[in-house]
Every structure is written in structure tokens, then in C-alpha cells.
Structure 1
Amino acid sequence: MTSTPSPFWSAPLPAAKPPAETALYRLPTGVYTTRAALAVSGGSILDKRSFAATAVLISHPHGDLLIDAGFGIHVKEHLKMLARVERAPYKLGKTVAEQLNAAGYDWSRMLGVLVTHTHWDHVSGLDSLKVPVWINSEELRYGASDAHGAVFREVSQNLDIHEYKLTGPAYLGFPASFDVYGDGSVVVALAGGHTFGSVVVFVTLPSGERYGFIGDLTWQMDGITRGAERPWMLRRMADVDAETVRLGLQRSIALSKLMRIVPAHDVGAYDSIPQLPVPYPHADA
């Protein structure tokens, strides 16, 4: 793959009308460490990379959503459910539930956790979140059947499943979409490739600033800045369809000129998103 992306999206960005109260907050729950050589093609075996396990809270007057769940209180047990080669040293911070409770968050506002996909490091924190899981049918099928869905099956077994449908039109080059609130502020788009139903979540803020939370289309910003894919062996291990992942990555690179692209595991990609305020501003709403 060359570092020059095809211009998949060149038209004006679609209209969005986020309410004035719409906001984003990051909730870092920990990190795990791996070598750059195992994260991106061309990475050095001497370079250690911290992989973020960060959830993002979308605050919206019609109800809030979390993008992914980060690490849970039982992350140590969750790691034991992985193949030994997939385990990595980790550091657990405060879980999403702990952070929201400490801020005095009003849980009646929470619609659920919208998972980009069902791999362990995106869903571990569901073990302490008693809210619905927002997921599409293809990703639910993957989570129910694939070996990499073992942690998801464990942490979601007592949770309500809110199955949304990607029946909306193509969006920003991705083939199908779901407009969560009907105002264009949060649009889920089908990416696929990494898992059956993995998605990208596009968020538009009242300021006009836009974000694309691309899950694991790439693990690090190297994928966006220099078009670096996962190493060949990791593509075979991690992706169900590497060519679809490549296409999604190229689409994301093209969009990076128009919005902030956030690979799920790049710690620095979250820097522009404020941390959860304490007390939470809607605590008494």
C-alpha cells in the first residue's frame, strides 16, 4: 500500500444540525503496551507503543451514548480468555462506570454503549455498565460466534441488546449508515473487514468540528499519516477481510483533511477531546 490515498471523498460534508448542548468527553480507562513492529508496518521492534483503552461519551439532549467501554474491573480475567500470543502488559485506570459515578453522572440520561466492534479491549468495561449494548446484526453475529468474541459473550450476557439497522444511505464513502438522533450529529457507518459489522462513528459538534471514530481500521495514527497497515501476520490474525479494512483505511485517510480521525488505540488521537468534568454539568438535569 502506498502512502498516497485515493480521494474517496471530495464533495462538501453532509449537513448536520447538532443541538447546542451536544458535547464529547473522553474517559481513558487504561493502556496496554506492544511493540511498534506488531502495530504498524514499518514499525521498529525497539519502539514500544501504548495502546489506549478509551471510551468516549457523547452528550446529547435526546440521551447520551458511549462509544466503546474501555477496560472493565475484571480486565485481568478477560486477558486470560485470550490466546497467549494476544496478551500484553497493561495498566488499568478508573473504569467508565467509576468515572461517571465520581462525576455525579445522571444515569437516566444514558441510552447505552455503541460498540465499534466486539473485541475484548472495546467491551471489557461492559462488566460494570448496566446499560443496553447498541450493536448491528452482523457484529452481533460475529460476537456470538467468533473466538475473539469470548469476552463480549461473557460481559454482555445480562445486558439488554439494542440492535440498530444500517439501512441509511452511503455516508462519507462508507456503504451504509444509521443516523442516531436524526439530526446528523451522530452517524454510524458500516466499515466491516476487521469484524463482520465493525463501524465508524461520525460526530459533529455545534462548533462545526467533526470527528471520525474509526475503531480498529488502524490501531495507530501511522495508518492515517503514512498509510501504514497492520503487519501481514497481524492482518491475518486480527481481520476477517484485510482488503475491506484497507479500503476503509483509505476512506479514512481521505477524510482526515476534513475532520479529526481517531483510531481507537492511539493515545494522542484523543487529546483534543476534553476529559469528563467533575461534577458533570448535567448531574442535576
Structure 2
Amino acid sequence: MTSSQPPTFWQGPLPDASPPAGMAMYQLPTGTYSTRAAFAVTGGSFRDKRRFAATAVLITHPAGDLLIDAGFGEHVGEHMAMLARIERAPHEQGETVAQQLDAAGYDRSRLLGVLVTHVHWDHVSGLDSLRVPVWINDRERRYAADDSHGAVFRAVSKGLQVHEYALDGPPYLGFPASYDVHGDGSVVVALAGGHTDGSVVVFVTLPSGDRYAFIGDLTWQMDGITRGAERPWLLRRVADVDAETVRTGLGRSIALSRLMQIVPAHDVGAYGAIPALPSPFPNPGR
């Protein structure tokens, strides 16, 4: 996906969005796994142990709710055993998204599905207990079908409905193509690529005016945003299909960091401003 054209970093005003009054957003942490900072970001220390988040985000909207990613599932241990040995890490498992939703009394009939930022195991494991439609674009679906890193996704998505959306909208905040989920600018999916063929950034605008960019694995930690630190060379070779496209996506994200909250998927602290799921959950119409 590398282009000969110079990358575009956003400098203009933010696009209009009209999030409805009933829209909200919540974090659902499902566990963590540990690695050394030296394996997470260039310049990281071997003495610095990082807890990688496996957190899903619920976006409620009058037109239907969506999860961004699925976190750890009920069988996460089995999923981790499917990985290459070098990719396994000590982990702590919390309650799954399904368990958290049910404990809060959330009406699951409101859930349109899980919009995956990409199909790597730590983003999709929780599909094993959610059993809801998977929202995915064609590029990522083909990557999931063919790449060894799609093995867990292929297992947990078996028998699930697939909602394939088209990234046929205009460029968005410097990213080359987009999809406006509800048509009101409140949830916009933009093609990032690079980490996987069809990996995406999910932009969310809340009624308060607060904006978030869930950038998946363009960087694993906030160091990538605050000091422009890429993954170490070896990890770029292992984890990314196109390191140059990841570098461009990271630059685009850094340019946006003065305008919105950037959330790398695996940085525990990046979720701090997002409220936890309330219990009992205020299901509309009940």
C-alpha cells in the first residue's frame, strides 16, 4: 500500500459532525498482557514492563450500538496457544465483554455488532462469547482469510454473520478513504492499512464535542504519539505488512493529537477519560 505521493497530515478545521443527544461511549477492559517496553517502542527499556490493554469500547447510538473490538474472550488461553511461541505473553484475564454487558443488564438486542480495527487475536478473542455480527471491510476480510495472523479470527468468527462495509467515502482527516457509519459524522471509519491490509482508525465524536481516534495498532503505546516512537525494527518486520504505511498513519495520528484524544489500542492509560459501563445500564425505552 506504499504510495509515491507524500503523506497528507491534517491541518484544517475538523469536519462537521452531528452526534445525537442519546449517544454515549464506555470502556470495557477485559484483561491485559505484559511485555517489555524494549519490545513495544523504539528506545524502550528492558526494565520497563508494559501492561498491554485488551479493551473494547461500546458506542451507544439511537440508530444502534457498536463495539470497537472485542477484547479477551472466554477461551483466551486457547487463543493464545494458537500463536507462534514468540508472540505469547503472560496475561491476566478479566471479565469478558459479554459478561460485563450481561452483568449491567444491557439489552443486547441493541448491539449491531463488533467493528474490528483489525483481526489480530487480541482484538477479536471476545467474539467467542459475543456471537454478534462482525463489521469488517473487504481488504481486512481477505487478509483474515489468508494470513497466519488471522487464525484466531477464523476460529472465533466461524458461523457469525459478517457485515462487510465499503470504504468508499472521501478522505477523512488525512486518511485516504472513509465510511460514515450512521451518516451523521458521529462514527467514521477510515482506512489506515499497514499493520494489516485493511486495518482502520475509528473516529468518534460525542454530543459534548469531545473527539476520539481509536487507532488500533498504528502504535501500541502512547510513546508513539508523544515522541513519535515506532515499533522496534524487528517487531515492525514481524507485526506489520507495510511498515512505511504504518509510519505514515502514525504521522497522521500525531498531527491530530492536538485536536482530539488519540487511543492506541493497547495503552491502558489512553482509556482513562472514557467512563466504565454503568450498572444498571440505562437501556432506552425501559
Same fold (TM over 0.5): yes
Tell me what 1:279 maps to. 280
Measured in 1, the distance between the counterparts of 2:158 and 2:196 equals: 20
Local SS of the residue matching 1:166: coil
Asked if 1 retains the 8 angstrom alpha-carbon contact of 2:8 and 2:174, the reply is no
Q: CA deviation at 1:130?
A: 1.5
Looking at structure 1, the residues matched to 8 and 264 of structure 2 have their Cα atoms a distance apart, in angstroms, of: 20
Tell me by how many angstroms 1:233 deviates. 0.2
Which residue matches 2:45? 44
- In structure 1, how many angstroms separate the alpha carbons of the residues matched to 2:213 and 2:168? 19
Map 1:191-270 → 2, pairs under 5 A: 191-270=192-271
Matches within 5 A, 1:1-285: 8-282=9-283, 285=286
What secondary structure does 1:196 align onto? coil
Amino acid at match of 2:24: A
Cα distance between partner residues in 1 of 2:249 and 2:89 = 26
AA matched with 2:212: Y
* In 2, Cα distance between equivalents of 1:268 and 1:281: 26
Can you list the C-alpha shifts for 1:155-201, whole angstroms capped at 9, x where unaligned? Answer: 00111000000000000000000000000000000000000000000
Counterpart Cα distance in 2 of 1:17 and 1:284: 22
Deviation at 1:283, TM superposition (A): 6.5
Deviations 1:93-122 (A, max 9, x none): 000000000000111100000000000000
Deviation by residue 1:196-215 (Cα, 9 ceiling, x = unmatched):
00000000000100000000
For residues 273 and 69 of structure 2, what CA distance do their matches in structure 1 show?
Answer: 18
Query: Structure 2: which amino acid aligns with 1:46?
Result: R
CA shift for structure 1 position 153: 0.2
Alpha-carbon separation, structure 1, partners of 2:8 and 2:168: 25
**Aligned pair in 2 of structure 1 residues 7, 177: CA closer, same or farther (>3 Å)?**
closer
Paired with 2:24 and 2:144, the residues of 1 have a C-alpha distance of 30
Cα offsets for 1:245-282 (capped at 9, x unmatched): 00000000000000000000000000000000000111
Residues in 2 aligned to 1:158 and 1:75: alpha-carbon distance in whole angstroms:
19
CA distance in 2, matches of 1:130, 1:117: 17
Aligned residues: 280
Deviating beyond 2 angstroms after TM superposition, the runs of 4 or more aligned structure 1 residues are none
Q: Counterpart of 1:91 in 2: which secondary structure?
A: strand
* Contact 2:117 2:200 (C-alpha < 8 Å) held by counterparts: yes
Structure 2 residue runs of 5 or longer lacking an equivalent are: 1-6
Distance, in Å, in 2 between the alignment partners of 1:94 and 1:284 is 27
User: Structure 2: how far apart are the matches of 1:134 and 1:106?
Assistant: 19
> What is the Cα-based RMSD across aligned positions, in Å?
0.9
Gaps of 5+ in 1: 1-5
Identity of aligned residues (%): 76
| Letter paired with 2:170 | P
Displacement, 1:284? Answer: 5.3
Residue 8 of structure 1 and its aligned partner are, at CA, apart by: 1.0
CA distance in 2, matches of 1:51, 1:284: 37
User: Aligned AA for 1:139?
Assistant: E
